[in-house]
């Protein structure tokens, strides 16, 4: 009997895999075990990859982290 992966599970796997690939590219293919990161921004990447609404994001983050991440992501970039 063939085992099939439920659609939601497939979406989660794809979203996590895409996030991992983006993080690896951003670090120049350095091992992600060796990379230090901002947990709030990593969580922001994940909620964005799942396509959560603003309300859903606020539930995941909680009030303080939601405001902190929102403020950080709206800052202008000076590259």
Query: Which tens digit of pLDDT belongs to each residue from 1-13?
Result: 566 767 888 888 9
The Cα 75–Cα 70 span in angstroms is: 9
Tell me how far CA of residue 23 lies from CA of 5, 59, 62, in angstroms. 25, 24, 24
As a dihedral over the C-alpha atoms of residue 36, residue 42, residue 43, residue 45, rounded to 10 degrees, the angle is: 180
Range of the domain at 40: 7-73
Q: Is residue 42 part of a domain?
A: yes
Asked whether residue 65 carries a pLDDT value surpassing 90, the answer given is yes
Structural domain tally of the chain?
Answer: 1
What pTM does this model have? 0.70
Q: Is residue 50 part of a domain?
A: yes
CB 45 within 8 A of CB 22: yes
Q: Is residue 2 part of a domain?
A: no
CB 37 within 8 A of CB 20: no
């Amino acid at each position: 009997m063939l085992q099939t992966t439920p659609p939601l599970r497939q979406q989660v796997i794809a979203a996590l895999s895409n996030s991992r690939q983006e993080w690896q590219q951003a670090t120049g293919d350095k091992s992600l075990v060796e990379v230090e990161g901002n947990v709030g921004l990593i969580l922001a990447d994940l909620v964005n990859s799942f396509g959560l609404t603003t309300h859903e994001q606020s539930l995941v983050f909680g009030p303080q982290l939601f405001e902190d991440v929102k403020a950080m992501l709206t800052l202008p970039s000076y590259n």
